[in-house]
A and B are shown apart, each in its own frame.
Chain A
């Protein structure tokens, strides 16, 4: 064995003179392709937004400089209220999404065996249909004279026409609907990885199923909870389609407010400042979730 290793070793060291440089060049080349592409089409545009947020809007143009006026405007009056409403909205809709998704993920992870793939597919398939069509159909289902009205009236849960469209409730339902699958998947992955012997050990040591859930399963699923919240709350902060279609004029959230600064008012600096505020809110969420998963080593490279 030693002899073989020596031979192999000497051979590799013989090729190393040429090989030692070449792999590194190749590695740098491979790493530089995505870095360059993303630097141009992702980081630079974001940097523009940050720079513009400190600029001043003039007639038909932007004067770059350093002023915090845009932030003052974005945090006061109508825009400030929209920002606060958006943050509260994203937090509560994300929490509701999590609450709805957890039992679903738990069911798939613990109570399906052979039909597990099917159980997950049923959750994922709707996600691959056109997002816009789903929201439009939801609009139709919730409208006056629509299916929900008929069903709710038939079940005597509601009487008369249903006036749910163009309210915050409709936006809420739409958000939970749109982001439910994204919340279920990471929860399922984490719950599925919890070793069953742990659960059985807890049970053997005398814990009730409820206690086992509370003290074993729930704490161990923290990374999944963090990912689910991240993947739902963050896009909700910037969501602009659902509020527009289901909330009408009463449901304006940050995404729409930013878009209208760019597309209608042409006030790029104010729009940029609002976009940066959304990014700050995202960063706060990420930091808060990082605390939640403290102690879990990411099993990544």
Chain B
């Protein structure tokens, strides 16, 4: 690899290389700046319990304050519940979708399912949000945790399905055919041969779905009620009064938690095979 790098270095003048690196570094800086700022400001004293751009001094006060803020804590709990159920449903339905997209015997069905998955990804969330609000209003289904979970799933199902599809494409079909020849039913083949092989991909999908659901704001903003109020919606609402530094503390803690979760999922996925299915992004 190093010789190849050296050869490229020969025919390229060094200046574009350096410019590219600087551009990359600036992009990373740009992407991290607000996160670093949010974490730093979670230690800011603030002015009369409001967060401001002015630095008024270091304090550790906001972390316990966030922990003991009952409405904030309730919204975090709600987010965990919603994210858990969304991940569970998305993995079940998304796995079936991703599998059928590759292995369904009829090409027309495969194409239809693939088309449906791409449509899921390209309908703007605000359109999904208002449509669901309308749907629940017309059918008179009262809003609850279940309706919120069902509303978030279309997007996360698409993510799980694409990861699943990428994994199933790499599976050796002859093994499944051999199982069938030996008298195994399709469902037994799926349970004993396919599931063990795709389990790490499904776990990666579950983590993605969980993260998306936890952070979902737009669809949730339409479907939450005072009883079902997730963290992003709570924060969004609190902005009207000016966010307290406790909000930054809660978000920083959740971010660290998310990174740890992603790290664990990444390690499990990596130990199984190949890098994640970024190819389908």
A60 → chain B closest CB, angstroms: 12
Interface check B192, CB cutoff 8 A: no
* Chain A contacts for B31, CB-based, 8 A: 122-123, 126, 177, 180-181
B251 → chain A closest CB, angstroms: 4
A300 → chain B closest CB, angstroms: 7
A235 to B128, alpha carbons, bound, how many Å?
11
CB pair B134–A48 under 8 Å, yes or no, is yes
A279 to B151, alpha carbons, bound, how many Å?
18
Interface check B58, CB cutoff 8 A: no
Q: Which of B61-69, B92-100, B197-205 contacts A (4 or more CB under 8 A)?
A: B92-100
Name A181's closest neighbour in chain B (CB-CB): B31
* Chain B contacts for A119, CB-based, 8 A: 24
Which of these, A114, A129, A134, contacts B258 with CB under 8 Å?
Answer: A129
From known contacts A12-B180, A203-B11, infer whether A130 and B232 are also in contact, taking CB-CB under 8 Å: yes
Which of these, B16, B103, B122, B235, contacts A282 with CB under 8 Å?
Answer: B122
A212 to B254, alpha carbons, bound, how many Å?
46
CB pair B27–A100 under 8 Å, yes or no, is yes
Interface check B196, CB cutoff 8 A: no
Name the residue in B8, B93, B131, B218 with the highest tally of chain A Cβ atoms < 10 Å from its Cβ: B131
Chain A 270-291: CB-based contact to B (< 8 A → 1; otherwise 0): 0110010011001000100000
* Chain B contacts for A268, CB-based, 8 A: 134
CB pair B41–A137 under 8 Å, yes or no, is yes
Interface check A230, CB cutoff 8 A: yes
Chain A 229-258: CB-based contact to B (< 8 A → 1; otherwise 0): 011001101111100010000000011001
A2 to B222, alpha carbons, bound, how many Å?
65
Chain A 289-301: CB-based contact to B (< 8 A → 1; otherwise 0): 0000000000011
CB pair A209–B38 under 8 Å, yes or no, is no
From known contacts A38-B157, A180-B31, infer whether A275 and B239 are also in contact, taking CB-CB under 8 Å: no
Chain B 21-49: CB-based contact to A (< 8 A → 1; otherwise 0): 10110011011111101100100000000
Interface check B70, CB cutoff 8 A: no
From known contacts A49-B130, A140-B37, A145-B53, infer whether A123 and B135 are also in contact, taking CB-CB under 8 Å: no
CB pair B104–A27 under 8 Å, yes or no, is yes
Which of these, A103, A104, A230, contacts B122 with CB under 8 Å?
Answer: A230
* Chain A contacts for B1, CB-based, 8 A: 113-114
Interface check A259, CB cutoff 8 A: yes
CB pair A24–B130 under 8 Å, yes or no, is no
Chain A 125-153: CB-based contact to B (< 8 A → 1; otherwise 0): 11011111111111011011111000000
Chain A 39-78: CB-based contact to B (< 8 A → 1; otherwise 0): 0011011101100100000000000000000000000000
CB pair B183–A19 under 8 Å, yes or no, is yes
CB pair A271–B130 under 8 Å, yes or no, is yes
From known contacts A130-B232, A177-B30, A189-B278, infer whether A45 and B185 are also in contact, taking CB-CB under 8 Å: no
CB pair A133–B248 under 8 Å, yes or no, is yes
A301 to B169, alpha carbons, bound, how many Å?
8
* Chain A contacts for B126, CB-based, 8 A: 238-240, 254-255, 258-259, 275, 278
A198 → chain B closest CB, angstroms: 14
Which of these, B41, B102, B125, contacts A301 with CB under 8 Å?
Answer: B102
**B-contacting residues, A99-120, CB 8 Å:** 100-101, 103-104, 106-108, 110-111, 113-114, 117, 119-120
Which of these, B120, B138, B151, B222, contacts A259 with CB under 8 Å?
Answer: B222
- A interface vs B, CB < 8 Å? 8, 11-12, 15, 19, 22-24, 26-27, 30-31, 33-35, 37-38, 41-42, 44-46, 48-49, 52, 100-101, 103-104, 106-108, 110-111, 113-114, 117, 119-120, 122-123, 125-126, 128-138, 140-141, 143-147, 177, 180-182, 184-186, 188-189, 196, 203, 209, 227, 230-231, 234-235, 237-241, 245, 254-255, 258-259, 262-263, 268, 271-272, 275, 278-279, 282, 286, 300-301
Q: Which 4 residue pairs across A and B have the least CB separation, nearest first? A: A238-B124, A26-B186, A34-B97, A137-B34
- Known A-B contacts: A31-B109, A278-B124. Give 15 more (CB < 8 A): A12-B180, A33-B93, A33-B96, A34-B97, A41-B150, A46-B127, A128-B255, A128-B262, A136-B239, A137-B38, A141-B34, A147-B53, A259-B130, A259-B221, A301-B169
- B interface vs A, CB < 8 Å? 1-2, 4-5, 8, 11-13, 16-17, 19-21, 23-24, 27-28, 30-35, 37-38, 41, 51-54, 92-94, 96-97, 99-105, 109-110, 113-114, 116, 120-135, 138, 150-151, 153-154, 157, 161, 165, 169, 180-181, 183, 185-187, 190, 211, 215, 217-218, 221-222, 231-232, 235-236, 239, 243, 247-248, 251, 254-255, 258-259, 262, 275, 278-279, 281
